[in-house]
């Protein structure tokens, strides 16, 4: 997706009264601005799910995906480590049943990213300071440790580089315990991209990329959420 | 004439004191005495309905009676009378007003209404208003102060303070004047901020050639984005150091994402200040500590310290502190520095940086040992700043300290800070000798390093 298409997607969604973009759309938008995201396909049938998984390579992750589905895990709509076409097809039927008849969304077949380090990037609009980008530890540690730092958007690459040194757990970005040093240039670009997405899309209220998993040395957005402002609130 | 910038506010050509008083100790008299003590050369026009003479000056009965061409009025009237006074001054084309009175929004609802009225008067007339509820401002390059706190002559220097409190130009200034030996350029207590705010003053100080470093005490930012934008322009040129009080634990509101729930006011402010190259401090006393360090000395070129200590205990403790809390390092010294240190030390001593100077001092005496060691370390290209702790007691005999200002003069690019251990009276004596000669002293050994830590942070944004 190109940036202008991403901007149209936001406008369309706001007009439709959606409170957020689905994970799929969120990531397409973030990818348009330069955030590395998982390879994934949006599917609506078990057959398509299986075909998508064959193309991506096993194992895969299967997730419910809709603009009004903010808490997939809590709703039981995430399955990980599906290792064969049969598991994917069975998984699809299970999730579809769980989602219920009212579920209007689709399902995401996603490459399963392996990495021991989980980071996060986000954006919020502060009443006083305006769009502010956050970077820090991701996964469950986001809530537990709140080891994060903020910068105002738009950011320079040097701002993003500084953020990496300012979290308490800065060492986690280095080559610890045999893990590769995180590709800081790539990470800096991703942080800057989130600020740019916020600056260029005033209808975006909040962004959460969590976890951003470090696969080898490369950060990849495994989940993404773009929250929209209510229509007519600008 | 309404003025956009604060040039005349900080350098008024003539002033009026509305509510001047003949009574000793009253603000309406002290403010005039303060101006005179600071050699203010403009005309001073007291206003009081009684008229007559005050301190040899003609007293005008009303604002209407005042001569034309007054740049600034200091209004020392009860709160209720101030909105009208602002309008009367505006009618006389007085561009700036300092409002001393308290009893506004900080007190009650009636006061809030009154403050609204004041803000409106300021907005409508375009007159720049400082306060209300402030002890005023100080501008030593213009030989001027509007402070009503008995200060006398205020020492001149390159430090400027902007405080979101009324009394910075009162009791806190008195503290600086009596406890320290550095001078100030512009100081301002913002008070209730109906008009002139921290960002206005920041903008003025940004290009003020008399201001070498800017210190803020803030509780809130009225125009945060603008403040940060100015900070970005200023921090490459001069250190900007901020103490921000009133940090809320969580400004987090109902939020859908983790990001928004973590976005407390203080975290975002912290990030914004860092982004702009501002050094954020967390102790009030550091507003004075960092100021006294930077006032007479250059900002260190980096964070590498040459430390001359008379005690292994200090070396251990300060090394711990620098590792754990301060971003300072003790670099290896060049071979020729080490050779010189060995020459002046007894042969059995193992030398490194920090330098244990005690053995040399016992053999050669304090003055020789410290002078030679400091000279060697100051000359070392690996060292950005030198801290010496001296042992001063009457029993050992006070060494001559002349060599320290001499070294400072000889090495003008590297700051030298002196700390003490020993007889307190000797420390005071050394402080009284060294500080007027441009060498800051720190009676508590940690303070010298804390000050360096703050300024080494400021250095990161400064263009070399």
- Section A45-59 average pLDDT: 97
Assembly ipTM: 0.89
Label each residue of B307-370 as H, E or C.
EEECCHHHHHHHHHHHHHCCCCECCCCCHHHHHHHHHCCCCCCCCCCCEECHHHHHHHCHHHHH
Per-residue pLDDT of B40-85, as tens digits, reads 999 999 999 999 999 999 999 999 999 999 999 999 999 999 999 9
Looking at the complex, report in whole angstroms how far the Cα of residue B258 sits from the nearest Cα belonging to chain A. 7
Quick check: A151 and B228 CB within 8 A?
Answer: no
Token reading at A194:
């989130």
Residues of B in contact with A150 (CB under 8 A): 263, 267-268, 270-272
Alpha-carbon gap, residue A91 to A79, rounded angstroms: 7
pLDDT of residue B229: 96
- Provide the 3-class DSSP secondary structure of residue B408: helix
Tokens of B19: 């509510």
pLDDT tens for residues A114-123? 999 999 999 9
pLDDT at B308: 97
Distance CA A44, CA B252 (A): 38
What's residue B408's pLDDT? 98
For B93-119, the DSSP string reads: T--EEEE----STTT-HHHHHHHHHHH
For B275, the closest of A70, A142, A151 (CB atoms) is A151
List of chain A residues whose C-beta atoms are within 8 Å of the C-beta of residue B225: 128-130, 152
Chain B residues with beta carbon closer than 8 angstroms to that of A72:
none
Provide the token pair at A23: 């994970």
Q: Which residues of B touch A162 (CB under 8 A)?
A: 274-275
What residue of B is the nearest CA neighbor of A130? Answer: B225
| Consecutive 10-residue averages of pLDDT for chain B (464 residues) | 75 97 95 98 97 96 97 96 95 95 83 92 94 95 97 98 91 96 97 94 97 94 93 98 74 55 79 97 96 98 97 95 94 96 89 94 94 98 98 91 98 97 95 97 97 97 86
- Tens of pLDDT, residues B301-345: 999 999 999 999 999 999 999 989 999 999 999 999 999 999 999
Task: Give chain A's domains with CATH numbers.
Answer: 40-111 (3.30.1490.20), 114-228 (3.30.470.20)
Interface test with B, best of A125, A131, A132, A212 (most B CBs within 10 A): A132
The pLDDT of residue A232 is 72
Residue limits of CATH 3.40.50.261 in chain B: 7-293, 300-461
Of chain A, the percentage scoring pLDDT greater than 70 comes to 99
| Residue percentage of chain A with pLDDT more than 90 | 91
Judged by a CB distance cut-off of 8 A, whether residue B263 touches chain A is yes
- Domain B300-461, classified CATH 3.40.50.300, yes or no: no
The pLDDT value given to residue B107:
80
- Residues from chain B contacting residue A168 (CB–CB below 8 Å): none
Q: Does A206 sit within 8 Å of B262, measured CB to CB?
A: no
As to burial, measured by CB atoms within 10 angstroms (0-12 exposed, 13-18 middle, 19+ buried), residue A232 is exposed
Percent of chain B scoring above 90 in pLDDT = 86
Q: Looking at the domain covering B7-293, what would its CATH class be? A: alpha beta
- Tell me what pLDDT residue B2 has: 41
What does the pLDDT read at residue A8? 97
Report phi then psi at A215, rounded to 5. -100, 110
Structure confidence at residue B252 (pLDDT): 44
Mutate one of B258, B267, B280 to test the A interface: name it (highest A CB count within 10 A): B258
B267: closest CA of chain A, how far (Å): 7
């Amino acid at each position: 997706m190109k940036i202008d298409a991403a901007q149209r997607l936001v406008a369309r969604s706001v007009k439709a009264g959606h409170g957020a973009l689905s994970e799929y759309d969120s990531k397409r938008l973030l990818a348009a601005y330069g955030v590395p995201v998982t390879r994934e396909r949006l599917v609506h049938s078990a057959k398509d799910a299986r075909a998508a998984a064959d193309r991506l390579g096993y194992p895969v992750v299967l997730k419910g995906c809709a603009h009004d589905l903010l808490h997939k895990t809590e709703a039981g709509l995430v399955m990980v480590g599906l290792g064969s076409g049969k598991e994917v097809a069975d998984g699809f039927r299970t999730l579809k049943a769980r989602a219920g008849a009212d579920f209007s969304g689709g399902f995401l077949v996603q490459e399963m990213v392996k990495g021991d380090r989980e980071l996060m990037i986000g954006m919020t609009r502060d009443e006083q300071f305006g769009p502010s980008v956050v970077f820090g530890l991701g996964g469950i540690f986001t809530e537990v440790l709140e080891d994060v730092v903020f910068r105002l958007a738009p950011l320079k690459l040097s701002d993003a580089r500084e953020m990496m040194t300012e979290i308490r757990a800065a060492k986690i970005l280095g080559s610890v315990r045999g893990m590769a040093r995180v590709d800081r240039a790539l990470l800096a670009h991703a942080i800057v991209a989130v600020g740019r997405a916020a600056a260029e899309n005033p209808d975006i209220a909040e962004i959460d990329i969590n976890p951003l998993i470090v696969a080898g040395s490369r950060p990849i957005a495994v989940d993404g959420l773009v929250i929209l402002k209510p229509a007519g609130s600008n | 004439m309404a003025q956009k910038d604060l040039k005349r506010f900080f350098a008024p050509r003539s002033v009026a004191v509305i509510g001047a008083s003949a009574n000793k100790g009253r603000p309406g008299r002290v403010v005039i005495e303060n101006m005179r003590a600071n050699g203010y050369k403009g005309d001073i026009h007291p206003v009081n309905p009684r008229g007559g003479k005050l301190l040899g000056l003609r007293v005008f009965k009303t604002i209407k009676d005042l001569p034309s061409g007054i740049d600034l009025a200091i209004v020392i009237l009860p709160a209720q009378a101030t909105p009208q006074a602002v309008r009367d001054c505006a009618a006389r084309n007085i561009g700036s007003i300092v409002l001393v009175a308290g009893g506004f929004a900080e007190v009650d609802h009636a006061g809030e209404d009154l403050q609204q009225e004041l803000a409106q008067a300021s907005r409508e007339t375009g007159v720049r208003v400082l306060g209300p509820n402030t002890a005023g401002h100080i501008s030593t390059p213009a030989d001027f102060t509007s402070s009503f706190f008995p200060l006398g002559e205020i020492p001149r220097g390159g430090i400027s303070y902007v405080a979101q409190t009324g009394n910075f130009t009162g009791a806190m200034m008195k503290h600086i004047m009596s406890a320290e030996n550095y001078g100030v350029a512009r100081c301002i207590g913002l008070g209730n901020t109906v008009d002139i705010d921290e960002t206005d003053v920041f903008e003025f100080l940004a290009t003020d050639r008399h201001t070498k470093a800017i210190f803020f005490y803030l509780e809130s930012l009225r125009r945060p984005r603008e403040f940060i934008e100015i900070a970005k322009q200023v921090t490459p040129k001069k250190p900007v150091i901020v103490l921000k009080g009133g940090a809320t634990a969580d400004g987090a509101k109902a939020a859908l994402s983790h990001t928004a729930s973590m976005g407390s006011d203080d975290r975002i402010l912290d990030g914004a200040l860092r982004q702009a190259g501002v050094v954020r401090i967390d102790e009030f006393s550091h507003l004075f500590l960092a100021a006294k360090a930077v006032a007479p000395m250059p900002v260190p070129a980096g964070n590498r310290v040459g430390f001359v200590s008379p005690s292994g205990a200090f070396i251990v403790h300060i090394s711990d502190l620098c590792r754990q809390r301060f971003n300072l390092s003790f670099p290896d010294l060049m071979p020729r520095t080490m050779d010189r240190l060995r020459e002046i030390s007894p042969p059995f001593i193992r030398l490194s940086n920090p330098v244990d100077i005690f053995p040399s001092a016992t053999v050669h005496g304090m003055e020789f040992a410290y002078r030679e060691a400091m000279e060697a370390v100051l000359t070392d290209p690996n060292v950005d700043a030198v801290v010496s702790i001296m042992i001063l007691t009457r029993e050992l005999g006070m060494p001559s300290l002349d060599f320290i200002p001499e070294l400072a003069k000889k090495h003008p690019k590297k700051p030298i800070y002196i700390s003490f251990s020993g007889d307190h009276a000797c420390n005071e004596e050394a402080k009284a000798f060294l500080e007027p000669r441009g060498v800051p002293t720190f009676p508590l050994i940690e303070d010298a390093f804390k000050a360096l830590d703050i300024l080494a942070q400021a250095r990161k944004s400064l263009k070399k």
